[in-house]
Amino acid sequence: MTLADAIAAQAPLVQRLLDGVAEIGRDPPGITRDAFGPGENRARALIAAAGAALGLAASTDAGANLTLRWEGTDSAAKPILIGSHLDSVVQGGNFDGAAGVIAGLGAVAALQAAGRRPRAPIEVLALRCEEAVWFGLGLIGSRCLLARLPPGALELTHARTGRTLAQSIEDCGGDAAALRAGRPLRDPASLGAYLEVHIEQAPQLVEAEAPVAICLANPGNVRHPFIRITGADAHTGLPHRFRRDAALAGADLALELEKLWLAEEAEGRPMAVTIGRFHTPFGHHSLTMVSGGFEMSLDLRAYDPAHLAALEARLGEIVRMVAQRRRVEIALGERSAAAPGPMHPEIIAGLEAAAVRCGLPAPRLNSPGSHDANNFAASGVPTGMLLIRNRNGSHNPDEAMETADLMAAIHVLADYLAV
């Protein structure tokens, strides 16, 4: 059987798994697979069962990540890891993360059907809790694997259960004590490569009329989930010169950050600013009161470490300027960060060559999103990514990946692995 025929033969398996994780996460109008909860756990069990049917050896590490291993012809060779995540945001879409785990299984199944056993072992990873919505910190599975958890992370609490990250990991078969030791669960030097397949989070591939792209880099980010602005409550009629209006200070801060964003992009330095939470205090705000309190969140991202550091310095300057202008206090509060993830040049070239052999157009694109690939790249593991066309972005119920486009990505991935 040719590899192309073997790929085509895996379409029913791939569709069954896509439908399975959708049913597990069903939460109208979208999908919710809660990290370290029933949604992620049931999806993990579905993937584990599919791996067992392919003869893959399953293991769970101290971070409760699932690894499904297929031995190569040379057991001493460094393994090639194919990974992504199974959790989702609340009422998001079905494909963000899950499509990448399923792609790994689809590629292994196709190689087996075609009788093409690679030299190096292949490991399909279902990494825990990639989405930051659950603990205010993202990429947790890969952070655990590579000893990149920030100080205090194991004491963060789950948005739904209230249990700490340490308790949540142990509830799912992990070992928080091993994580506290601060040593990588896998030595990065022992890993041959990390590959990730992920839906694109912007409509660039729709524009390009291509089913798949070769990722050049993922942005790193600096996040402040709980920025607090403190002014003074006052009567609605208070003249402007006397006000310490926290709500207007929040608006001011947001607009200054947008000015920064537009100026940077005009100079050819891609970045992004996202404000997800933006509100006066619930239970205290009023139609007839100047609000002395305001809360917001901030995600600041860029593709180059030096650029991201410079943007964070500018953030500090903007905060000081707005605080002085509005006569308020602005506390940025908790901070988390993810390093930018440049893809490895040799893997980029190898995936491009595979796409050519498959007869597929595969433009080079930056990904708008940070992914587990960032942590592998930052740890020195050669890293590559394929992006799949997705019409309506991600983190919403309308994610619109076509299974045929996922199959195209699986074809490129399997061809790359078979060389």
**DSSP readout, 334-396?**
--EEE--EEPPHHHHHHHHHHHHHTT----EE--SS--HHHHHHHTT--EEEEEE--TT-SSS
- Tell whether 133 and 269 lie within a shared domain: no
Residue 233 has what pLDDT? 97
**pLDDT value at position 369?**
87
Bridge-partner residues for 300, per DSSP? 222, 273
Nearest to 214, CA basis, from 96, 388, 379, 338:
388
User: Which residue, chain included where needed, has tokens 């901030």?
Assistant: 298
**Alpha-helical runs (H) found in 230-343:** 246-266, 305-326
Residue 281, domain extent: 220-338
Would you mind telling me the total number of residues written for the chain in this entry?
419
Whether residues 323 and 180 share a domain: the answer is no
DSSP reduced 3-state for 81: strand
Q: Are 186 and 269 members of one domain? A: no
Statement to judge: residues 158 and 253 lie in one domain = no
* 50 lies in the same domain as 139: yes
* Number of domains present in the structure of the chain: 2
Taking 90 as the threshold, does the pLDDT of residue 284 lie above it? Answer: no
> Contact 368/168 with Cβ under 8 angstroms?
no
- Residue 389: its pLDDT value, please? 97
The CATH number of whichever domain residue 276 belongs to comes to 3.30.70.360
| Predicted TM-score of the model (pTM) | 0.88
Tokens encoding 143: 């952070």
Report the relative pairing of strands 212-215 and 364-365 from DSSP bridges.
parallel
Question: How much is the pLDDT for 202?
Answer: 87
Please indicate, yes or no, whether residues 303 and 400 belong to a single structural domain of this protein: no
Q: Structure tokens of 329? A: 């206090």
Q: ω into residue 188 within 30 of 0, thus cis?
A: no
Mean pLDDT value of segment 249-272: 97
For residues 98 and 181, membership in a common domain is answered with yes
Judge residue 334's burial from the number of C-beta atoms within 10 Å of its C-beta, 0-12 exposed, 13-18 middle, 19 or more buried. middle
Mean pLDDT calculated for residue range 368-377: 93
The helix/strand/coil state of 217 is: strand
Residues 377 and 292 in one domain: no
The total of other beta-carbon atoms located within 10 Å of residue 52's CB is: 12
What whole-number percentage of the chain has pLDDT above 70? 100
Read off the pLDDT of each residue in 300-310 and give the average, rounded to a whole number.
95
Same domain, residue pair 43 and 186:
yes
**What is the pLDDT at residue 119?**
95
* Cβ–Cβ under 8 Å, residues 144 and 66: no
Query: Which of 338, 364, 384 is the C-terminal boundary of a domain?
Result: 338
Helix 98-113 and helix 403-418, axial crossing angle in degrees, nearest 10: 50
**What are the residues whose beta carbons fall under 8 Å from the beta carbon of 205, sequence distance 6 or more?**
211, 212, 213, 363, 365, 387, 388, 389, 390
Tell which phi-psi region holds residue 129, choosing left (phi > 0), alpha (psi between -120 and 50) or beta: left
Q: What is the CATH number of the domain that holds 383?
A: 3.40.630.10
- Coil vs helix vs strand at 123: strand
Tell whether 42 and 165 lie within a shared domain.
Answer: yes
Q: Report which of residues 334 and 412 the model is more confident about.
A: 412
Beta bridge partners of 30: 27
User: How much is the mean pLDDT over the chain?
Assistant: 96
pLDDT in tens, 208-230: 999 999 999 999 999 999 999 99
Q: Are 147 and 141 in contact (CB under 8 A)?
A: no
Lookup result for tokens 């739904």: 160
Flag whether pLDDT at 124 surpasses 90. yes
Based on the fold, state whether residues 154 and 15 are members of the same structural domain. yes
Final residue before a domain boundary, out of 274, 303, 338: 338
Boundary of a domain, candidates 309, 338, 367: 338
Residue 296 reports pLDDT greater than 90: yes
Task: Reply yes or no on whether the pLDDT at 134 is more than 90.
Answer: yes
165 and 54 in a single domain? The answer is yes
Q: How large is the average pLDDT for residues 107-127?
A: 97
Residue 397: its pLDDT value, please? Answer: 93
Section 379-396 average pLDDT? 95
- Residues 352 and 214 sit within 8 Å (Cβ to Cβ): yes
| Max CA pair span of the chain | 79
Report the DSSP beta bridge partners of residue 197.
386
**Placement of tokens 């999103």 in the chain:** 369
In angstroms, what CA-CA distances link 155 with 137, 329, 377? 11, 27, 26
Per-residue confidence (pLDDT) for residue 419, from 0 to 100: 79
pLDDT of residue 185: 98
Give the model confidence (pLDDT) of 193-211 as tens digits.
999 999 998 899 999 999 9
Q: How confident is the model at residue 1 (pLDDT cuts 50, 70, 90)?
A: confident
Mean pLDDT score, 307-313 = 97
